[in-house]
Amino acid sequence: MADLSVSRPGPWDSPPRHAASEPPRHAAPDPGETGEKAGQSVEAAETAEIWPVLLPDKHRPADPDASRPPSTIGDPGRAHAEVRPRLRADPSQPPDTVSDHGTAGALDVRAASVRGLSHRESGAPRQDAYGLAVTADERFLIVAVADGVSAGPLSHVAASFVARRGPRDVARRLDSGVAPGSLPWPEIFTALAGTIIAEGARSLCRAEPARYAATAPSEEEVAAAMATTATFLVCPVGPALGAVREVQVAWLGDSPVWALDPAGGWHNLSAIKGFGEEVGSSGVVALPQVPRDPADLPHACCPVPDDWTLLVMTDGTGDPLGPGQGEVAARLAGWWRRPPPPLLFTEQVGFGRRSYDDDRTVVAVWPSGARDPG
């Protein structure tokens, strides 16, 4: 775990705008220009400032300095511009993109899950999911992020189960009086695994009734058809005591939790994919499998300065972020030091970068005083 005892800078600076969202810098009207023409120039500038994302291109003032597509980091690759997303054939499958935003106590939240280029091209469903819950006493925010294992044809269903039921189960336990630091994570993960096995067995029986007419699907067969990572964050929503929030994280698989400090430094709160592992140990531990020994289920209590941003993500974002250094880390830090407008955040989660075509999910939590104007 990264050392969280760092110096605390002053108030956050305003985040830099990336090229695609920067409104054109209109020159002041010529002294000879009066009336309607000058007024249109001012109106165009104001419109570009207020609607950098939502306004259709044909109504947006031209930006001669925009040299790359929106929300790209480095070389986006040809697929970012050329792939035409195929609509889902089955309406029961998750939509291409989902987005949420809102407040919980003293926290400001953005969440987005975006289908990756490979699934958009093939028409396969988005296998990522996220879930949010607030306890009945409004003291704690619970975040869950799940990444369905790509080999399983029903893994998107497993991810959806975790995202829907996981936060609700954690909230119920907290509401019953369990302290955040005493949450029984092995029991929580085991219950989710049981739900996946039961629901998966029913799904396989419906899909292949003749095959399973006499014998129910085994746990191994269910795990091969639907498996998912699961990562949880539990965060107090009130003002931090002593300028520090004590957050709880628990995870199974490779969906990481990060904290971003106001200076743009990244601090890992869970585990970094591939860090310290031997070459070739790329297997993903995922539900419905759970460690035999409860002590092997990773979880941590992390004291985090109250002006840091908390981010829970799948490896579609975690892989290009890497160890929190380099071009991707710097660009995401610039974008996410303050909460951007919700649809802009969703666009940024789906940023283009060559060779990264997996589904992307990020849930970001800021102190509400960090809100970006507009």
Rg (CA), the chain: 22
First to last CA, the chain: 35
- pLDDT, position 35: 42
CATH superfamily of the domain spanning 79-371: PPM-type phosphatase domain (3.60.40.10)
Strand partners, 133: 142
- pLDDT, position 239: 79
Tokens of residue 338, six digits: 């303050």
- pLDDT, position 86: 94
Domain ranges of the chain: 79-371
Contact status, residue 244 vs residue 305, Cβ threshold 8 Å: yes
Q: What are the pLDDT tens digits along the chain (374 aa)?
A: 444 433 334 333 434 434 343 444 444 444 444 444 444 443 444 333 333 444 444 444 444 334 445 689 999 999 988 999 999 888 889 999 999 999 999 999 999 999 999 999 999 999 999 999 999 999 999 999 999 999 999 999 999 999 999 999 999 999 999 999 999 999 999 999 999 999 999 999 999 999 999 999 999 999 999 999 999 999 999 877 778 999 999 999 999 999 999 999 999 999 888 665 544 445 678 999 999 898 899 999 999 999 999 999 999 999 999 999 999 999 999 999 999 999 999 999 999 999 999 999 999 999 986 655 44
Q: At what angle do helices 342-349 and 327-336 cross, to 10 degrees?
A: 170
pTM, full prediction: 0.79
Please give the Cα distance from 143 to 133 (Å, whole number).
7
Tokens 């306890």, located at residue:
135
- pLDDT, position 273: 82
